[in-house]
Every structure is written in C-alpha cells, then in structure tokens.
Amino acid sequence: MTAPKLALAAASLVLSATALAQYPTKPIRIISPFPPGGTTDVLARIIATEMTKTIGQPVVVENKTGAGGIVGTNAIAQAPADGHTIGLALVRASPGKYSFASPGTGTAAHLAGELLKLRGNVDIQHVPYRGGAPAVQDLIAGQILLGFNNVNTILPFIRSGRVRPIAVTGTTRSLVLPDVAAMAEQVPDYENTEWYGMVGPKGMSREIVAKLQTEIHGVLNEPARRSRYLNELGVELIGSSAEDFDVFLKAELQRWPPLVRQLGIKGA
C-alpha cells in the first residue's frame, strides 16, 4: 500500500497577454490514465468540478486507460500545447508461494512490490490488474493474499475491517493511518511513495502554466477541502510550483529506471 502525496504543476514556454486574456476558449480536458474509481480519477474529478466554477469553461475528465498509464500519458503529450488538455504507484517462510497484486505493470504499486522483493529478500510473484479497484476486489474476495495500493483506494476497506494494513511504503507513517508502521521500520533502505501531479504537453506557455497553477492551488488549498483530502482520501497535499515539480521529476527519473532495467520490467 502506498502513502500518496499530491504534487502539483504543469509544463512551460511563452504566450502573448491577449491570448492569455482569452484563455480558456473551450472546455479543458483532464486526462486520467487510470480507470474510474481509483485515486487519480477521484482527484481529477474533484479538481475539475471546482475549476469549472471559476475558470469560465467546463473542465471535464476523460479516462484513457491501458499499459500501466502509458496510453493516457501519451494522449497528454500528443495534445496541442494550448492549455486545454492536462493530466493527473509475512511470506519469507514460504518462498514463491504467495503473490502480490498491483494496479498494473510498471505502476508505482508494482515497483513497490519489486522493491520489497529486492530490499526485503522476499520471494513473491507479481499479479497485475487493470487498475486499483479490481485488485482490491480480488484482495477482499481472498483471491490474492497481498496487495500494494494507494491509501485512497484501500482506506474504506481498512476502516470497515475487510482488509488489514501491513505497512505504508513511505519512510514515515501516514497521517491518516498513524498506527500502521512505515515499511522502512521493517525493511532498511525502503521507500516508495506514490504521488500525483498535473502535467501538460511540451511547449505550454509560462502564462498558461501560471494560470492553471493558480486555479488548481485555489481548489486544493481551501481548508475544508484539504481536511477532506486527508481524512476521506488519505492524500497529503503539497501543491508545489512547476519548478519544484520539475526538480522532483528529474530525481525520480534518476532513481527508478536502473531498478526497472535490473528487474527486466516491460510495459504492458
């Protein structure tokens, strides 16, 4: 299970003041690369609903799923850079006997399991699903023993007693699950924190990035909504700048590809 944090930003470049004054000129699409009902979809729909009230155009969510999020991400990358399309991862005694579920190959939850195998010297097999919700359904039904998923997807089932949390995968305990140990307390050098961020096509102007950032920050920073994100969704909001998000992404791109290559993970 991951302990998700929400990072926020988009991409960059240049636009005239006249064009910015007219923006947006048509509905804005937020592409969610995962199925309805998961954390990415829920967060995208909350943001879309609130932005629609202030930005002057409808903001709609489109679910473009497949290949562990690659289909939706490619749709964002290939969209016009005009700001109208943006987007939102026990068993040592019986090696090889048990499996772990994830929302898909190459997702943060998949990497969380592979990292546990590596750092914790645990032999468990990966079973990829098409999104977090189907994985949870099989976990509840007893079809799978262990799963890695984000707090938002699994929290209602923890509170109802239908699943038992073992650990959160960040270096510290989750604010919404303070009695659940961090994986790093049991497995040294372990960290896998799922995050969410807004991105747009390459070439979006700095002015549009700034406007979108202001609008989305306004949605996320309202006190009652921040409390709801944490208490109902298990999400700790960050709301970083585009520049901070860029630095974070570059660090992630340095960290994960070597592990992916070492383990021979291939896209779905």
Half-sphere exposure of 186 (CA within 13 A, CB side): 15
Task: Report how far residue 150's alpha carbon sits from residue 72's, in angstroms, rounded to the nearest whole number.
Answer: 19
pLDDT tens, position by position, for the chain (268 residues)?
444 433 333 332 333 333 445 667 778 888 777 777 776 777 788 888 888 888 778 888 888 777 556 677 777 777 776 665 655 424 555 566 678 888 888 888 888 888 888 887 778 888 888 887 788 888 888 777 778 887 777 788 888 888 888 888 878 888 888 888 888 877 778 888 778 888 888 888 888 888 888 888 888 888 887 777 766 666 777 777 888 888 988 988 888 888 888 878 776 5
* Residue spans of beta strands (DSSP E) within 47-95: 59-63, 85-87
Alpha carbon distances (Å) from 211 to 7, 69, 74, 251: 17, 26, 23, 26
Alpha carbon distances (Å) from 108 to 46, 79, 104, 161, 252: 22, 25, 9, 25, 11
- CATH T-level assignment (fold) for domain 99-193: D-Maltodextrin-Binding Protein; domain 2 (3.40.190)
Predicted pLDDT of residue 232: 67
Predicted pLDDT of residue 117: 83
Where do the structural domains in the chain lie, given as residue ranges?
A: 5-88+195-257, 99-193
Tokens 């070492």: give the residue.
262
Asked whether this chain's domains 5-88+195-257 and 99-193 adopt the same fold, the reply is yes
Predicted pLDDT of residue 4: 40
Indicate the CATH number of 5-88+195-257 among 3.40.50.620, 3.40.190.150, 3.30.460.10, 3.40.50.11810: 3.40.190.150
Predicted pLDDT of residue 17: 36
Predicted pLDDT of residue 235: 72
